[in-house]
A and B are shown apart, each in its own frame.
Chain A
């Protein structure tokens, strides 16, 4: 269909291959950063309770007294076989951790993204098109406030408000105990499991629990997207091709939609991709605020325990998501913009 489709598939293949070196760099960074940080899992767990000699024995059993480079190579070898090891503090395979808690983080962040995009794209476009109008000013203030407000505070305020107005609305956790008990875990993504069970009350219960956390996290993101879309629409409206389109009598609506907005999207998609890292950070805070059983909650727990293996595994998993998004963004950009080809 496309005259450049041959080079497009090549471009996509290269992007996907690039995941490997990117992940390697990230793995290495995570590995060494954790090791240079003060404290180790053994002293965090048993410090003061056991003698220095007993601690050393435990360190030796864990293998963390060996030279760093040996541990590093061993770790790389394990990762190459998709083995992320077991946590030190409670001896669970890291992959189980990701499987059991990843779904909650996934639906939280996806929900937040969805909200942010549905709200942010049209508002940003409106503000950009009617620049300096009243609407633009209101939208801009909204954008700055949502971006600047601390997530904890927004979450707590929302909870207080909701408790006051709709006392029965859930403000904590991902589902009521009864739902968790009745829904069969198949995919380990509670929302999907509830949908597969076909149980209407369970679905609505899970969805209701998602609303506040997704809204809180999404609000933060939507501020970023609004500002981004606005600036890029304004920039694109100054484009020579926009003026040329007007000179051909193309209606202003079509000029904004087909010319300015589409070109603005190229930049927006890239930056939205970069926002994934920030969103994951925000997700950790959101999970804490709403008692959400996701990876962020787990991560905080294992950091406090100085559990190298667990933190390393979880952070690697987060990094993998960031890298995969960045590849997806590159591919989307390649699809939107015919100039992006190798």
Chain B
């Protein structure tokens, strides 16, 4: 009764269980111009000890999805759909119950480690506050034992336990933030661009730490990043997001070697690698999420766009190799979507694109 964490099923003995499952999840922000559909019908699941990478251009809704999953959304936003944590739909819970799950069941690691710790509180006070919030009767000795345990894993010496945040470097503060998240042992953690603000060496270190989480804690991790290299290195699966939707999701190696969706392909081509000679980029910018284009949201920018793309939204389907993608071109290539007539499969010409753009 006293220890919330030990009450739960030991995850190590039940590998591979689904921890989190989203079905047609939507998140809106209310604005003067109308609702911003920042997450627009997203479905996926995440298993124990699995790392799912989330990529996509700036503004396509990655952070919104991450925050939406743990219910950390600003005022004036709304969630809809289904979001199951170990089978319970969190969206049907009372706000109090949702709040209680944060930290204990759902953790979050942020992008800016420098500003995420309260400058007036010692590291030890941060840990004590966090642990006490979820276990009122926890003893001082227990707080210290558990905090130092996780700090040791993060490579922070116990002598620094009572120091203030400003006495640490950026990389150390990110490790502190990770420790502060993990001390509660949440089965699911969102890491929103955890290394963007750090230098390359520290980045590699943090990524290794996150990668090791699955072995140490069996944590299910959603890793949001702009860096495809990180995904290739650390993730089991990858989800590609565009204009509020997951357009392709699958095994990381499969998606990277045989992308099904033209957006994934273009995204891969536009990253710098040792072999690239010129820098590719995707023409145009992601659409306005108040009024996304009809049909496939990507059609105004897609080099493969067909007539059908401008009018009918593609359906998510499983493709050869096991990836799931929503794209007409990918469907036709794999002999799916036989109901679309041949005439609709003709390339979309530029005039029609601009007309559709204005519509």
B-contacting residues of A (Cβ < 8 Å)?
A: 3-4, 239-241, 243-252, 254, 258-259, 262-263, 266, 336-339
Contact = CB atoms under 8 A, between A and B. Distances in A.
Contacts of A243: 72, 110, 116
Given A240-B116, A262-B120, A247 B133 contact: no
B120 A337 contact: yes
B101 A249 contact: yes
A248 B130 contact: yes
Contacts of B320: none
Interface of B: 70, 72, 99-104, 107-108, 110, 112, 115-121, 129-130, 133-134, 162-164, 166-167, 177, 180-181, 184
Contact of A4 (B100, B116, B121, B164): B164
Residue from B115, B119, B180 whose CB has the most chain A CB atoms within 10 Å: B119
Contacts of A245: 118, 129
A266 B133 CA distance: 25
B116 A248 contact: no
Contact of A258 (B110, B115, B118, B181): B118
B162 A259 contact: no
A248 B164 contact: no
Nearest to B108: A247
B107 to A, nearest CB: 7
A4 B163 CA distance: 9
Contact of B133 (A249, A259, A338): A249
A263 B119 contact: yes
Given A240-B110, A244-B177, A339-B164, A250 B117 contact: no
B104 A249 contact: yes
Given A3-B164, A241-B118, A262-B118, 7 more contacts: A3-B167, A248-B133, A249-B101, A263-B118, A336-B120, A338-B120, A339-B164
Contacts of B118: 241, 245, 258-259, 262-263
Contacts of B167: 3
A3 B164 CA distance: 9
A247 B98 CA distance: 11
A244 B110 contact: yes
Nearest to B104: A249
B166 A338 contact: yes
Q: Which of A246, A254, A262, A336: most chain B Cβ within 10 A?
A: A246
Contacts of A244: 108, 110, 116-117, 177
A248 B115 contact: no
B120 to A, nearest CB: 5
A244 to B, nearest CB: 4
A250 B110 contact: no
Contact of B115 (A239, A249, A250, A254): A239
A239 to B, nearest CB: 7
Nearest to A258: B129
A3 B163 contact: yes
